[in-house]
Amino acid sequence: MKRYLSTFFLVLSGVILIIGLRLDFRWSGIASWGLTFISLIFAAYFTKYIPDEKDEQQSGNQ
C-alpha cells in the first residue's frame, strides 16, 4: 500500500494546484503552492517504498 502513496501525493498536488489557482481568494495562491510543496515532499519521501525491479531480478537469479 505504501508504494502507491507516491502516486497519490503527485496526483493530489496537481488537484490542489488546479483547484487552488482557480479560486480568487486572498492568499489562495500562496496556500495552494504551500500545500502542493508539502504533498510533493511526501511524494518524494514515499518513493523509497517503490520496489526496485533490478533488485528483484538479481535476487531471483541467485
* pLDDT single digits (tens) 4-52: 899 999 999 999 999 998 988 898 889 999 999 999 999 999 988 888 8
Predicted TM-score of the model (pTM): 0.76
User: How far apart (Å, rounded) are the C-alpha atoms in residues 10 and 42?
Assistant: 9
50: Cβ contacts below 8 Å, ≥ 6 apart: 3, 6
Q: Are 20 and 32 in contact (CB under 8 A)?
A: yes
User: How far apart (Å, rounded) are the C-alpha atoms in residues 31 and 48?
Assistant: 27
User: How far apart (Å, rounded) are the C-alpha atoms in residues 43 and 16?
Assistant: 14
Local confidence band at 56 (pLDDT 50, 70, 90 cut-offs): low
Which residues form the domain of 37? 2-61
**What's the domain count of the chain?**
1
